[in-house]
């Protein structure tokens, strides 16, 4: 799966899981995670990768770790998507739902 397709599917899952959330694509600073998710008083930064073994750009690890200390941030790829969504639901205090997509 190409990263852009995975990112679109992830955004759809986030919109379903977090109705009314604001989801922005970040493109301004090298290493800043791909997506910002704003939901009520909560926020998260998510870095999308097409697979677990995808290359990390300079500063990506730094920004994901920094943002995770502040709120919530993860690298997300098809192999861990449901785990990240589950963790995000827990961190945001959102009522648990059934899995959004079927495991592959």
* pLDDT > 60? residue 103: no
Residue 77 domain flag: yes
CATH number of the domain where residue 32 is located: 3.40.1350.10
Residue 104 domain flag: no
Residue 100 domain flag: no
pLDDT above 90 coverage of the chain, percent: 79
Whole-number Å distance between alpha carbons of 32 and 26: 7
| Average pLDDT rounded to a whole number, residues 56-77 | 96
Residue 66 domain flag: yes
Question: Which range of residues forms the domain containing residue 19?
Answer: 3-92
Could you tell me the sign of the dihedral formed by the alpha carbons of 79, 80, 86, 89, in that order? Answer: negative
| Count of domains for the chain | 1
Average pLDDT value over all residues in the chain? 90
Residue 103 domain flag: no
pLDDT in tens, 46-62: 999 999 999 998 899 99
């Amino acid at each position: 799966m190409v990263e852009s397709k995975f990112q679109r599917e992830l955004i759809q899952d986030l919109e379903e899981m977090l109705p009314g959330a604001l989801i922005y694509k970040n493109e301004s600073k090298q290493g800043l995670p791909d997506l910002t998710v704003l939901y009520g008083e909560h926020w998260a930064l998510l870095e999308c990768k097409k697979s677990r073994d995808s290359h990390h750009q300079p500063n990506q690890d730094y920004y994901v770790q920094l943002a995770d200390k502040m709120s919530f941030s993860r690298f997300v790829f098809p192999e861990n998507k449901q785990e990240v969504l589950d963790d995000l639901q827990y961190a945001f205090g959102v009522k648990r739902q059934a899995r959004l997509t079927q495991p592959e």
